[in-house]
Amino acid sequence: MNQTKETTGPTVLVTGGCGFVGSNLVARLAAEHPGADLFVIDDFRSSSFANLVEACDRAGVGPFTGTVHGWSTNEIDWEEVIEAISPDAVFHLAAITDTTVMDERIMLEGNVEGFRDLMIATAGREIPLVYASSAATYGTPPQTGARVPFPVDAAGRPNNIYGFSKWLMECEHRRFAREWEQQSGTTPHIVGLRYFNVFGPGEARKGKMASIAYQLAQQMLAGKRPRLFADGSQARDQVHVDDVVSCTIAGSMHGVRPGVYNLGSGQVTSFADVAAAVREGMGLSESEFPVDYFEMPEHIRAFYQDFTQADMTLTQDGLSWSPGVDPIEGLRSYGRWLADSADQPAVASA
């Protein structure tokens, strides 16, 4: 991201900016660029303005003073919007994030339509574009059995329509970049980031789609034992939202290598270890809150990602970025934060 205009800060557009990651990103941009002109596009299908208010509070940047358009990214005339806003960078995070949505037409319409037009509008003006893809693009690659990190080229056989929608975005990206290179001899600044399992402050309004760390903490806050599928050895790459925001911003920087990258912690944490770290952070003991294991239903087993771990080698090479938050430490501090903030009023939302 390089400021091009004579304002006191960059002009930045964040789609999905009222969601969990998006609101944390907007607040960070406000903190790092106090004079920034911040634009958010969000149709609020899984979020609320309240995320933005709370994220700005947490970041200590004062009230949000930017612009919010309640539009759906798949229905926008991107040429017109990009021309009008003239951003220095675009972060495209808007997506249907409910992985249990089974209506394939709705998922593809919401997540993929309009993406090519956004790439055309930004590339034509040399505006960096960073978009959120997902570890769901991997499905169950061979690395799962061996329990080794997923290299970027192992993706493409997603287990659900959500993962497929993200895969299609990446395919559009690759196709567009190839065409653009053939026509102009230059590579468009487009970076796709496959977020792994993101956790951290600001995800409460995701409901059943919030992280396992959040779900377990809520159970314990309600006085119940944390519940996990037996035997708790299922493991994921758990990445703190602060790292996700840092890497997403890094993707917009001048000099990075455009392409698709993994964005995880690079480490693997079993669900049993997630429960232990969150419980510890909340100041609770194992004897009071032992894990209550139950059998995974058969219909879930077939599509379940039993193991994910990001191979972060290319991310380090192409974006000069590597994770800063150790997942266990991050989970402990998140548990602490959830326990501390449980009694404080949140901003009321719909």
Ligand X SMILES: NC(=O)c1ccc[n+]([C@@H]2O[C@H](COP(=O)([O-])OP(=O)(O)OC[C@H]3O[C@@H](n4cnc5c(N)ncnc54)[C@H](O)[C@@H]3O)[C@@H](O)[C@H]2O)c1
Positions that interact with ligand X (CB under 6 A)? 15-16, 18-22, 41-47, 72-74, 93-97, 110, 132, 134, 195, 197-198, 206
Residue placing its CB nearer to ligand X in the complex, 123 or 239: 239
Phi first, then psi: give them for residue 112, nearest 5 degrees.
-110, -40
Taking every pair of C-alpha atoms in the chain, what is the biggest distance, in angstroms?
65
DSSP symbol at 308: -
As beta bridge partners, residue 197 has 238
Nearest alpha-carbon partner for 89 in 114, 55, 118: 118
Token pair of 320 as six digits:
């000069």
Q: Nearer to ligand X by C-beta: 61 or 193?
A: 193
- Three-state SS string over 254-314 comes to CCCCCEEEEECCCCCEEHHHHHHHHHHHCCCCCCCCCCEEECCCHHHHCCCCCECCECCHH
Q: Please, which residue, 11 or 46, has the CB nearer to ligand X?
A: 46
What is the tally of helices (H) and strands (E) in the chain? 13, 13
206 noted as active-site residue: yes
Per DSSP, the three-state class of 228 is: strand
Closest distance to ligand X from the beta carbon of 42 (Å): 5
Is-catalytic flag, 5? no
For residues 20 and 289, which CB has a smaller minimum distance to ligand X in the complex? Answer: 20
Of these residues, 162, 195, 214, 334, which one is catalytic? 162
Which residue number, 293 or 337, has a Cβ lying nearer to ligand X? 337
> What backbone phi and psi angles, to 5 degrees, belong to 245?
-65, -45
| Rg of the chain (C-alpha set) | 20
CB of 112 to ligand X, least distance (A): 10
Least distance in Å: CB of 177 to ligand X?
20
Say if residue 231 is preceded by a cis peptide, omega within 30 of 0: yes
What residue is closest to ligand X based on CB? Answer: 19
Q: Least separation, in Å, of the C-beta of 94 and ligand X? A: 3
Task: Quote the least distance from Cβ 324 to ligand X, whole Å.
Answer: 18
Catalytic member of 131, 138, 195, 206: 206
- Provide the minimum distance between the beta carbon of 205 and ligand X in the complex, in angstroms, as a whole number: 7
Pick between residue 247 and residue 339 the one whose CB is nearest to ligand X. 247
Backbone angles phi, psi at 191, to 5 degrees: -125, 120
Q: Residue 218: how many CB atoms within 10 A of its CB?
A: 15
- In the chain, the N- to C-terminal Cα span, in Å, equals 34
User: Which residues have a catalytic role annotated?
Assistant: 162, 206
